C-alpha cells in the first residue's frame, strides 16, 4: 500500500477506511477488531476516519471497544477524527438546533471525549468538520496549539473548506494545516474547479475524498446523465480489467496529481479489498477525460 507523508510524525495509507456508517454494520467488538486487522494486515490500510458525531455520537466508542481487545494495533494505525458540528441528539440534547461550534472550549472538550471513546492518548489528525460562519480563527488556533503542545493531537486539517476559508484559518496558525477532506467523485467535481485542489497542490498537501463512490448513486442510476456516466465507467472497467466500476471511480481520483486519498466507507471485506486493489489500475489521461466529459455532459472547451 502506498503511503503519504503528512508531517514528520504522521504518514497515511493512500486508501483510508471510513467509519461514518460503523453503527449500521452491526459488528460486535471482536468482529470489528478482526475487520481492523483485515484492513491493516491484509490490505495495508492503516488510516481510519472518524468524527465525533458519527452514528449519533456512538461510532468512536464502538471503535474504541474493538481497539481495547487488541491495543497493540494502535501503534501501527492512524486515527482521524473531526469536531465542530452539534447535533440535536438523545445523547447530547442540551441545545435546540443543530449548529456549528468552533469555540476553543468545544474543540478541546470534543478531543477529550474522542480520546476517551477511542481509548487512545493521542489523535493523529483532527479536522474542523465544516466551515463555521461564526468561526473565530484566532480561537481555533489557540485550541490547536494547546492540543499540539500537550501531545493530544499530532496534526490538524479541515473538512469541506473552500480555499479562502482554508487560507483564513492557516494565517492564524504557527504550523501548516495538512489536508482538506472534500466531497470528490466522478459525480461531484466541484473541487476541480473551485480552487480547492489547486490550493492543495500549492500547499503541497494531499486532500482526502469523502463519498468517492458518489454515495452509491451510480449503482442504481435511473436518470439519463447518470446512466451515460455509468455506461462509460463500465466500458473503462473492461478496458482496464477492473473488477467493477467502483474500482474505476477510485482509480479516477487516484490519477489526479494532487494525490487524493479516497475514503472507503464500507464494512464489507470484499468491497474494502476491491477499493485497495484500485491502486493497481492505471488510467491514461484520455480515459480520465472520458469520465470527465461524461460527468460534465460535454466535451472540454
Q: How far is CA 93 from CA 72, 96, 106, 122, in A?
A: 35, 7, 15, 27
| 54 is known as an active-site residue | yes
Q: How far is CA 236 from CA 65, 116, 222, 250, 281, in A?
A: 41, 45, 20, 12, 11
Identify the three-state secondary structure at position 194. coil
List 54, 57, 100, 250, catalytic entry = 54
Q: Is 288 exposed, middle or buried (0-12, 13-18, 19+ CB in 10 A)?
A: middle
Residue environment code for 231-270, b if the CB has 16+ CB neighbours within 10 A, otherwise e: ebbeebbeebebeebbbbbbbbbbbbebbbbbbbbbbeee
Contact 140, 102 (CB under 8 A): yes
Q: At 128, which helix (H) or strand (E)? A: strand 123-128
> Distance between CA 115 and CA 64 in Å, rounded?
9
Nearest 5°: CA angle at 165, between 163 and 167?
Answer: 70
Q: Is 119 exposed, middle or buried (0-12, 13-18, 19+ CB in 10 A)?
A: middle
Contact 259, 190 (CB under 8 A): no
The alpha carbon of residue 150 and the mean position of all alpha carbons in its chain are separated, in whole angstroms, by 25
> Distance between CA 271 and CA 110 in Å, rounded?
31
Q: Is 280 exposed, middle or buried (0-12, 13-18, 19+ CB in 10 A)?
A: exposed
Nearest 5°: CA angle at 201, between 198 and 205?
Answer: 125
Residues marked as catalytic: 54
Amino acid at each position: 500500500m502506498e503511503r503519504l507523508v503528512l508531517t514528520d510524525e504522521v504518514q497515511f495509507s493512500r486508501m483510508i477506511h471510513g467509519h461514518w456508517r460503523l453503527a449500521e454494520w452491526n459488528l460486535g467488538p471482536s468482529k470489528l477488531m478482526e475487520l481492523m486487522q483485515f484492513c491493516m494486515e491484509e490490505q495495508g490500510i492503516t488510516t481510519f476516519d472518524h468524527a465525533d458525531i458519527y452514528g449519533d455520537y456512538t461510532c468512536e466508542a464502538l471503535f474504541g471497544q474493538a481497539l481495547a481487545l487488541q491495543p497493540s494495533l494502535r501503534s501501527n494505525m492512524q486515527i482521524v477524527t473531526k469536531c465542530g458540528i452539534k447535533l440535536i441528539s438523545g445523547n447530547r440534547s442540551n441545545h435546540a438546533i443543530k449548529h456549528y461550534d468552533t469555540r476553543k472550549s468545544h474543540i478541546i472538550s470534543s478531543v477529550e471525549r474522542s480520546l476517551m471513546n477511542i481509548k487512545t492518548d493521542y489523535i493523529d489528525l483532527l479536522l474542523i468538520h465544516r466551515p463555521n460562519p461564526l468561526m473565530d480563527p484566532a480561537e481555533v488556533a489557540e485550541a490547536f496549539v494547546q492540543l499540539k503542545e500537550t501531545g493530544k493531537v499530532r496534526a490538524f486539517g479541515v473538512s469541506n473548506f473552500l480555499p479562502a476559508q482554508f487560507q483564513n484559518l492557516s494565517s492564524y496558525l504557527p504550523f501548516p494545516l495538512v489536508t482538506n477532506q472534500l466531497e470528490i467523485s466522478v459525480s461531484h467535481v466541484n473541487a476541480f474547479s473551485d480552487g480547492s485542489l489547486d490550493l492543495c497542490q500549492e500547499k503541497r498537501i494531499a486532500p482526502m475524498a469523502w463519498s468517492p463512490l458518489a454515495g452509491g448513486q451510480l449503482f442504481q442510476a435511473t436518470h439519463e446523465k447518470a446512466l451515460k456516466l455509468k455506461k462509460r465507467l463500465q466500458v473503462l472497467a473492461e478496458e482496464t480489467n477492473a473488477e467493477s466500476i467502483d474500482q474505476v471511480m477510485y482509480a479516477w481520483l487516484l490519477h489526479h496529481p494532487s494525490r487524493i486519498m479516497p475514503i472507503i466507507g464500507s464494512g464489507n471485506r470484499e468491497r474494502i479489498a476491491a477499493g485497495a486493489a484500485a491502486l493497481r489500475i492505471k488510467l491514461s489521461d484520455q480515459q480520465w477525460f472520458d469520465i470527465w466529459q461524461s460527468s460534465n455532459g460535454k466535451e472540454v472547451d
